[in-house]
Amino acid sequence: MSEYLAAARAWLAQDPDPVTREELTALITRVEDGDDAAAADLADRFSTRLAFGTAGLRGTLGAGSNRMNRVLVAQAAAGFAAYLREKQPDATPTVVVGYDGRRNSDVFARDSVEIFAGAGLHAILLPRLLPTPVLAFAVRHLGADAGVMVTASHNPPDDNGYKVYLGGADDGAQIVSPADAEIAAHIQRVADDGDVTVLPRSVGYANAPESVVEAYVAATAAVAPAPAGAEGLRWVYTAMHGVGWETVSRVLTEAGYPAPVVVEAQIQPDGRFPTVAFPNPEEPGAMDLAFETARAADAELVIANDPDADRLAVAIPDAETDGGWRRLSGNEIGLLLGWRAARAAAAAGTGGTLACSLVSSPGLQAVAEHYGLDFRSTLTGFKWISRAPGIVFGFEEALGYLVNPDVVRDKDGISAAVALLGMAAEARGEGRTVADLLREFRETFGAFASDQISVRVSDVSEIAGIMASLRAQPPSAVGEVAVSRIDDLMRGVDGLPPGDVLRIWLEDGSRLIVRPSGTEPKLKLYLDVQASSAKKANRRLAALRAGAEGLLAALR
């Protein structure tokens, strides 16, 4: 414990934040008084540090090397600046920084631009809190060498994060290996020096002009200008206490769509996220207020963004569902948007690639083959999806969609919302609904059904144990269906980079994928089936879920 106390005192000496200084001072006092719970807390904060990887940084706010705070962010900014200078020793790299409405996002962003400027970079700060897709757009629009977005996306309220993009040959995509390890090494060197108070800072950074946001709005509105069927469309929108609404409303006006009925309690940024346990549209209960609003408005459609507006959720009326509304799965939305992109590419004769993560529905491959397009399956995350050669559309089942790759090389919940609105309005003009579009998709390509089992743990070692057990004793069957083969992506499969993923194929053509979450303490199981009809697919999916739950129970 003396080691952790020494680390805590050294941390305290360089912490510029009075809130975390007070928090850590009180914790040290409790440890010195013999408080065992405080000792465990201190060990958790200082036994390791938040790892910088391909998702950048993400963690709980608080004092310590294993938390998100101003010391850690200063180390990250200085390390990233050193990396950029190393890559361009004879130039002045440009880096643009954005931030959302989470606690301390604005503080972390300003610390970053001051440190970037102090390191001799051309640092640019976006004009106010804005969605993540605007930052991803700005990297390319401004010709920047890099970008940083301070956000924890849809994570729990007490989290924040630091997402990194690279310009130039990377086209404004998120970092991948080996850049992540190289940046992490520079950050570690800064941390080892032990005092962020001596890092040079400067207020000589630039503020991005409003024209950057205007350019994003114009490019996004052009994705799907409102068709004739949009007139009179009744729909509901929620920003999930995030930063999406201001930008979304401007895009809607420019594209010509009718204004939605908004979920008033969730429309303005609020880092406390008071109406939801988790600000993620996928989580149970997160869209309850949107459904309540939709029932009162007799709406035809519900659209939701997550707090940084890089994800899209959609719900439609469904008389068979309790409450009368059903949230579409990420795969259903992805297949509809992929179908839209494939039709456009085929009509233009331009060709291209449809891409999705390997845990997303195999239905996208069927769409690509139908229209003579290329298909690419990637590791999870848009850092991989966005790099598919010739990409015209990409998605992942976790509500992420890339519909405008020439403008934003990342998932974008706003451009995806416009594209979906365009499909819904066009169908409406023909006297049809989104449910009819889903039915037509099944009739054209077959019935693909998907499900997910997500297990949240308090001890992440449990996840590693389950993965190890599956590798040591692979199942011969899932439920009553025999396993035909297992792909262990740790060994590299189909040209994919190694990853902690097991892909289990069953003899009836069903698929079960098991992997740890990359951003949360969860184990995720992805279930996919295909059949000739929705009824048969749902029956097969129910059987697969029961088998997967039994397998999981035996491993825990």
Q: Which residues are catalytic?
A: 153
Q: Which residues pair with 161 in a beta bridge?
A: 58
Q: What's the alpha-carbon Rg for the chain, to the nearest Å?
A: 24
Measured between alpha carbons, how far is 36 from 201 in angstroms, rounded to an integer? 39
Distance separating alpha carbons of residues 368 and 371, to the nearest angstrom: 5
**Residue at token pair 């640092």:** 123
Please choose, from the candidates 332, 330, 328, 350, the residue with its C-alpha nearest in 3D space to the C-alpha of residue 341: 350
Rounded Cα distance, 421 and 403, in Å: 13
| Vertex 296 angle, CA 294 and 297, to 5° | 65
CA distance from start to end of the chain: 32
**Dihedral over Cα of 269, 272, 274, 279: its sign:** positive
Instruction: Quote the CA–CA distance of 109 and 105 in Å, as a whole number.
Output: 6
Helices 434-445 and 330-348, interaxial angle, to 10°? 70
Q: Which helix (H) or strand (E) holds 237?
A: strand 235-238
Amino acid at 376: R
DSSP 498: P
Q: What is the C-alpha separation between 120 and 122, in angstroms, rounded?
A: 7
How many Cα atoms within 13 Å fall on the side-chain side of residue 457? 17
Q: What is the DSSP string of 196-230?
A: GGGS---S-PEEPPHHHHHHHHHHHHTTS---GGG
Q: Which of 103, 96, 225, 237 is nearest to 157 (CA)?
A: 103
Distance of CA 513 to the CA centre of its chain: 19
Residue type at 427? Answer: A
Using the structure block, give the residue that is written with the tokens 């209960």. 285
Q: Where does 338-492 show beta strands of DSSP type E?
A: 353-357, 374-378, 391-396, 400-402, 447-456, 477-478, 481-488
Q: Please, which residues bridge with residue 485 across strands? A: 505
